Amino acid sequence: MKKSMKTQFLLLVAALAVGCGAPKELPNGGIWPDDSGVHVNAHGGGILKQGDTYYWYGQFMIEGELGNTAQVGVSCYSSKDLLNWKNEGIALAVSEDPGSDIAKGSIIERPKVIYNARTGKYVMWFHLELLGNGYKSARCGIAVSDTPTGPFTYLRSMRPNAGHYALNATPYHKRNDNYPPAQRFTGGVLPSPIDQGNMNIHGRDMAGGQMSRDMNLFVDTDGSAYLIHASEENSTLHISRLTDDYLDTDSLYVRLFPGRFHEAPAMFKRGGKYYMITSDCTGWAPNAARSMCADEILGEWRELGNPCVGEDADLTFHGQSTYVLQVGEGDAARYIFMADRWTPENAIDGRYLWLPISFEGERPVIRWQDTFCGLK
Ligand code: GAL
């Protein structure tokens, strides 16, 4: 109690110090006041641009460790300059019904919203862990709205691609039916790097759907959308194409980097190539980011190393990727790396790092900056 009041006081003092007017820049790792002077509460977030407005969706966290679970829902903020954020309220509220998939106390992480021009709907996907099941559910939750700020209507949850193998599944994965049970992974602690010879997690989950924890969405220039998700007990990334209405996966998907344990994927496209920035797999604790590139989204991906340089680059400046925002088009396009600095002991106090991405050849490079300067 003492700690939470102190935190609240510090947040207030910091907000007043920054001022509730129109900030010209936001302090990376500091307090980012919204239109009422309260620190923006949109963790693990992502951005949707519609017209000249940016919408920021994220996990609304409360104080203490309980705040890491979904006590309120998914928040939404709007801005025209990426610096002044108006609190638009809760876009998707948790349910008071303990039997609901999105019951209060479930885990709702990394919500992302995309707009479907064919259906005119705003579609939200998020990582969902059912109430009381720890991180074992590994499901996707899906919700829709007619407006960007919601309220979104919860549709359902699922594990992606049930009944289908990945495009690049091997005969090893497909002989699941007659595989000796002792050689199939059935749960427990997963050694890293994973021994692919002993653990056919992909085959194990073929019928019921593939696991999906840390996730993101990406809409390609042709309007097709993809789910990028940490699957197979977090050991292997999957990229899954969505159906035309963006409400499901369409069973076309690939497995990437088996046994590399990438988390927190954030995809973007530049000069016709696809990029991702990810993290290692160490829970809330920061680790070194990774980057990768491909000529085709479902094609061969190659790792390019840690994009961060400078002091604390090996800890992603104490942050973890959540989204890469493209600002502008074509040669004028710029890319903003968005990361969370988690504070799991007091979830509400998590901070944001938004840093520009530069390029050395094809390699993305991220350097620390004290402030985020918006569209400039
Ligand atoms: C991280 C993940 C977060 C959250 C956390 C829980 O690795 O990126 O989104 O799931 O683990 O420990």
Distance 330 CA to ligand 1 centre (A): 33
**Does residue 173 surpass a pLDDT of 90?**
no
Binned at pLDDT 50, 70 and 90, residue 6 comes out as low
Nearest CA to ligand 1 atom 8: 264
The CA 270 to ligand 1 mean position distance, Å, reads 27
Q: Residues lining ligand 1, judged by CB closer than 6 Å?
A: 44, 109-110, 214, 263-264, 283-284, 320
Q: What is the predicted pLDDT for the residue at 185? A: 62
Q: Which residues pair with 93 in a beta bridge?
A: 73
The closest residue, in CA terms, to atom 2 on ligand 1 is 283
Q: What mean pLDDT value characterizes the chain?
A: 91
Report the pLDDT averaged over residues 97-116.
Answer: 98
Q: What pLDDT score was predicted for residue 191?
A: 52
How confident is the model over 211-233, as a mean pLDDT?
97
- SS (HEC) of 122-191: EEEEEEEECCCCCCCCCEEEEEEECCCCCCCEEEEEECCCCCCCCCCCCHHHHHHHHCCHHHCCCCCCCC
Least confident range from 166-170, 227-231, 241-245, 349-353: namely 166-170
pTM of the entire predicted model: 0.92
**Is the pLDDT at 195 greater than 90, yes or no?**
no
Mean pLDDT, range 26-52, rounded to an integer = 98
pLDDT, residue 1, reads: 35
User: Tell me, what's the pLDDT at 100?
Assistant: 98
Distance CA 232, CA 138 (A): 10
Residue 14 CB-density burial (10 A; 0-12 exposed, 13-18 middle, 19+ buried):
middle
Question: Residue 226 C-alpha to ligand 1 middle, in angstroms?
Answer: 21
Residue 73 neighbours by CB under 8 Å, 6+ apart: 60, 90, 91, 92, 93, 94, 102, 108
Mean pLDDT of 3-26: 56
pLDDT range class, residue 19, cuts 50, 70, 90:
very low
Distance CA 242, CA 317 (A): 33
pLDDT over 70 percentage in the chain: 88
Nearest residue (CA) to ligand 1, atom 1: 283
Contact 228, 124 (CB under 8 A): no
Could you identify the residue written with the tokens 């109690």? 1
Give the model confidence (pLDDT) of 72-102 as tens digits.
999 999 999 999 999 999 999 999 999 999 9
In ligand 1, the atom with minimum distance to the C-alpha of 281 is: 7
Per-residue pLDDT tens for 148-167? 999 999 999 999 999 999 99
At residue 234, the pLDDT reads: 93
- The CA 51 to ligand 1 mean position distance, Å, reads 32
Can you give the pLDDT at residue 187?
61
Burial label for 373, CB within 10 Å (0-12, 13-18, 19+), is middle
Least confident range from 9-13, 133-137, 346-350: namely 9-13
Question: Which of 43, 216, 231, 263 has the most ligand 1 atoms within 8 A of CB, as the residue to mutate?
Answer: 263
